[in-house]
Chain A
Amino acid sequence: MAVKYDKRVRVIFAGLGGHGALAFGELLTEAAARSYKYVSFVPNYSPMMRGGESETMIAASQEEIDSPVWREADVIIVTSPTGFRVAEQRVSPGGILIVDDSVVREKAEREDIKVFYIPARRIACETGDPLTANFILMGAYLEATKAFPVEILEETIESTSKGTSRERLLSANKRALHEGINLIANYKEQPL
């Protein structure tokens, strides 16, 4: 049963090649498509398979989406040290910036946005599944925005990974998702 949402979704994942920006975008788009009438997903990356800037833009709405590309997003997840400053500038006023601070060393300067620092890459490496870092960030995104119930994401992870190479990561990805949710639920502001 699809749940109807009125809330608009406009999210950017700004990472480097290999960080899982594409997988993040594809999954979020699939999940959004279960609750929203219109979705758009644009991957945009440099020619390098590994290490180049890699960005995905995801939008969902009950109304037709005029443009699938935009400078400003309501939520930006950033894992690219070189793309961090640009990403910070692209959050809409009052929006949310989620930073993987095990990769990005800088701190945000803007005061009109909410910033969460989540060491996703480090935690993912410690659990032995470095590939799950983007799912930790997905969980953080879910909890920070309440854009979808976690069940919709879990269902989507199951249905989209069935029969693919991602299937072996299914339980690890789900665990990572909840890890991210808990990190935001128990989030304490960091002293500057």
Chain B
Amino acid sequence: MTERILSTGNDAVARAAIYAGCKNYFGYPITPQSEIAHYMARELPKMGGCFLQSEGEYAAAYMLLGAALSGQRAFTSTSSPGVALMQEPLSMMITAEIPAVIVDTQRLGPGTGTGGQQGQTDYSFVTRGVYGGIHYPVLAPYSVSEIFELVQLAFHIADKYRVVTMVLTDFILGRMTEYMELKTFDFGPLPEKDWALKGKDRKGGRTDFLLTVTGMMLDIPGFFAHQQEKSNRIIDSETRYETYKAEDADFLIVGYGYAARASKRAVNMARDQGIKAGLFRPITLWPFPKEAMKREALKSGKVLVVEDSPGGLVEDVKLAVEGVSPVHFLGIQARHTASPEGLIFPERILQEVRELL
């Protein structure tokens, strides 16, 4: 029987990485996700793994690159400003097609923000790809058990496509406690890592990797054509979303992360009042489920995007909906208090739905 345990979202990230066979963690502490590093620091040495706290995020991401280049699974976790600091190594990994996982437990930005409290202000920053114009998959869980599943999936997608894959959570999801089932997810077969630098002393090992090490592109159109072909395969096979009570809905709420949980409750409260509301939840933020979004928007006729930010997801929704129905927005101005612990509550979302009816 599968064991069911109480876990925080941050601990679920760490456990999932270990369940996915990842024994390498490199990171630098930052609120609100340092518990992931605490967990890895405690557990990895016991299993012969490598935990390393670097001198900063930039170094951690280059360590990640090095470890992943050896063919082993490796990951790092950080929070918003940390992702910014990792941009150069992330872009190098994308260029060299080195698979690795990065978890961003979002905190409010820009800048120092509130010093580590709730916010969903990274959406546009992380879904538009690295500098150089190449996208990478971004998975957005909304519960502790889904964090546990999607972090394992992130390792699979990373290895399958040789791409950096991100899991995007937030302060609330990282710090909250829920039940989850401990199990290893099987997502199917993976290609052999024949590109990995395994060293001279191993049979079939490689010690050189020209493109990777220099980062040079000799055939520029060829490089981008290959990346585009890979992006298209990811779009075709990995786009994920979920709907809730959307079948007969004439009002569709769209959200991800904790805002999707608040929205789900708003849907239930609206239904109790006879309002046919439904929820559309993108699980992959890139690739964004454009076609499904447009189809559901067309069906319900009215769309309200809820996110704890000045607006990021709402842009993708508008692009996907292509004007077939009006897209309204409920953002950071809808928080219950002006202080750092402000949140968008289900009651506020319901109020907005009623006003828009």
Binding site for B on A (CB under 8 A): 26, 29-30, 33, 38-47, 53, 55, 65-72, 86
Contact = CB atoms under 8 A, between A and B. Distances in A.
Nearest to B112: A47
A47 B117 contact: yes
Interface stretch (B149-157, B220-228, B309-317, B340-348): B340-348
A40 B176 CA distance: 7
B79 to A, nearest CB: 13
Nearest to B113: A47
A129 B187 CA distance: 53
A71 B6 CA distance: 24
A66 B114 CA distance: 27
B337 interface: yes
A29 B117 contact: no
13 contacts: A29-B177, A38-B179, A39-B179, A42-B177, A43-B176, A44-B118, A53-B339, A66-B265, A67-B261, A67-B265, A68-B172, A70-B347, A71-B336
Interface in B163-196: 172, 175-179
- Most central of B261, B267, B336 by chain A CB within 10 Å: B261
B340 A69 contact: no
A30 B6 contact: yes
Contacts of A44: 118, 172, 175, 341, 343
A33 B116 CA distance: 29
A190 to B, nearest CB: 29
A66 B115 CA distance: 29
Interface of B is mostly: mixed
Contact of B178 (A30, A46, A47, A68): A68
Nearest to A41: B177
B345 A69 contact: yes
Nearest to A45: B341
Contacts of B117: 45-47
A47 B116 contact: yes
Interface string B245-281: 0000000000000100110110110000000000000
Contacts of A42: 172, 175-177
Contacts of B336: 71, 86
B115 A72 contact: no
Contacts of B345: 69-71
A15 to B, nearest CB: 12
Contacts of A72: 347
Interface in B320-349: 336-337, 339-341, 343, 345-348
A105 to B, nearest CB: 21
A109 to B, nearest CB: 19
Contacts of B261: 66-69
A25 to B, nearest CB: 9
Nearest to A36: B179
A21 to B, nearest CB: 11
A44 B340 CA distance: 9
Contacts of B172: 42, 44, 68-69
A46 B341 contact: yes
A79 to B, nearest CB: 15
Contact of A71 (B116, B264, B346): B346
Given A71-B347, A86-B337, 4 more contacts: A33-B179, A46-B114, A47-B340, A68-B172
Contact of A66 (B6, B175, B264): B264
A67 B264 contact: yes
A72 B347 CA distance: 8
B8 to A, nearest CB: 9
